Structure 1
Amino acid sequence: MIKKQSQFLHLDTYARVIPKASTQQQWTAFDILKEAARDAEHSKHVKNAQRPEILFGESPEKIIAMIENIDNLRTGKSRKYRKDLKVLMSGVASFPTPMDKLKSDDKRMLASFETATRNFLYKQFGSALVSVVAHYDESFPHIHFYVLPDLANGQKMADLHPGMKARAECGGGKNAKAAAVARGLANFQDEYFREVSCFFGHERVSDSPRARQRYAFWQVQKALKSKISQLNNIIKRIIPWNEITSPPKLKSETNDLIL
């Protein structure tokens, strides 16, 4: 049985120092960029490390200098930005054919994949997208991309990161905000699939039964929430406003899925 190829797209955010309260993240923004540049101390996991190919924008070293310059910026209250403020969004998109199995047709498809991914990212993040680089020295060819909020003009990470943006726009409590983050990130993945992956024959989710089960449940919930919204709009139209102060809200009995 031939294993289906699936998309791999991952996002994370980093500060200039590791937040004291962090229990998982062990890398700073500087560490991430030095790994991308194949600094010897940060790329020991790569046997034959090679310099990245710049597909768009600046080199990792230039971005390090840009982040170091944050020390010279001030908030609206004329204060320095906190060292633990998330200032770098880093992401990776992987091409699912191993390097040692790339044929001439695959290499042409890889070049098209890189262009399509770069265009998608620029559409999503605009001028905040400062760099896209490619690595060909690991098992699978992959793209790293870097996004910097324009702090000097008041832009925040929550204005750019799809999960954080969804959370900021959510008016609910802790659980609702957590679910909003999951929805924002899932929608980002869905958009990438529609605009890039599907044209290269890549599946939205992997063959893993657990991944497919989670995705199927997520799709059912999305459909359920849409139907609930439609029903609430119908209720608003058919029940006179002088009989109720506000239309009854229908709720889903299922818990929000956190991906």
Structure 2
Amino acid sequence: MACIVLSWPGEMDADCKRWQARSVKWLQDTYGDQLKTVIRHDDEAFPHLHAFIVPDDLKAISLHPGDSAKQKAKADGLSPKEQNEAYKQSFRDWQDSYWDKVGKPSGLTRIGPGRRRLTRDQWNQEKQQAKALAIALADGRAVAKRVDAAKAKAEKFEKA
């Protein structure tokens, strides 16, 4: 069995609940029937989810995207350096998938401030931009729904 922990960097509020729903959907899409349960904990500074996954072969390492890519690269006869690159790239792709489906629509940034040596002002500005992007994406989806509804109404009117 493997456990993945996903953490929300704030209080339990409406945004957190939307993040939670997106996270569970991403886990279901990524792991399918192997995902057994997701539990939310509010026992620490930030709400977080524990996802428990049981792989079909009962070997937790088989769920690690980097390890799977490295084993495939090894089987394909690639050099150890290429195997390690496959490992890193696969894991980055897995993280990017989570950010694209969950983080970005939730107004979260992809990489924290410390690794990139951002000042507090730069980090706060980046967080504000991420929230603005999430709002713009949500607004775009709302507009698309209204356009689709208007088109359906127009088609219905034309038929009548």
Q: Equivalent residue for 2:5?
A: 92
- CA RMSD between the two structures: 2.0
| Higher helix content, 1 or 2 | 2
CA distance in 2, matches of 1:108, 1:122: 21
Q: Equivalent residue for 1:243?
A: none
- How many positions carry a matched residue from both structures? 115
Summarize the Cα distance change of 1:173–1:89 in structure 2 as closer, same or farther, 3 Å threshold. Answer: farther
**How far off its partner does 1:112 sit?**
1.1
Paired letter, 2:94: F
Q: 166, 170, 187: which one pairs with 2:69? A: 166
Answer with 1 or 2: which has the greater Rg. 1
CA distance in 1, matches of 2:30, 2:80: 27
SS at match of 1:145: strand
Identity among equivalent positions (%) equals 26
Q: Equivalent residue for 1:110?
A: 16
> Does 1 or 2 have the higher relative contact order (CA < 8 Å, sep 6+)?
1
CA distance in 2, matches of 1:120, 1:180: 23
CA distance in 1, matches of 2:34, 2:103: 23
**How far off its partner does 1:168 sit?**
2.3
Q: TM-score, normalised by structure 1?
A: 0.41
**How far off its partner does 1:183 sit?**
1.0
CA distance in 2, matches of 1:166, 1:211: 30
Q: Equivalent residue for 1:177?
A: 83
Unaligned 5+ residue runs, structure 1? 1-87, 213-259
Paired letter, 1:184: S
**How far off its partner does 1:192 sit?**
0.7
The answer to whether the Cα contact below 8 Å between 1:89 and 1:161 also exists between their aligned partners in 2 is no
**How far off its partner does 1:156 sit?**
5.1
Within 5 Å, which residues of 2 pair with 1:39-188?
A: 88-97=1-10, 102=11, 107-151=13-57, 157=60, 159-170=62-73, 171=76, 172-188=78-94
The answer to whether the Cα contact below 8 Å between 2:18 and 2:106 also exists between their aligned partners in 1 is no
**How far off its partner does 1:157 sit?**
4.5
Paired letter, 1:142: H
CA distance in 1, matches of 2:117, 2:3: 23
Paired letter, 2:93: N
Q: Equivalent residue for 2:98?
A: 192
SS at match of 1:196: helix
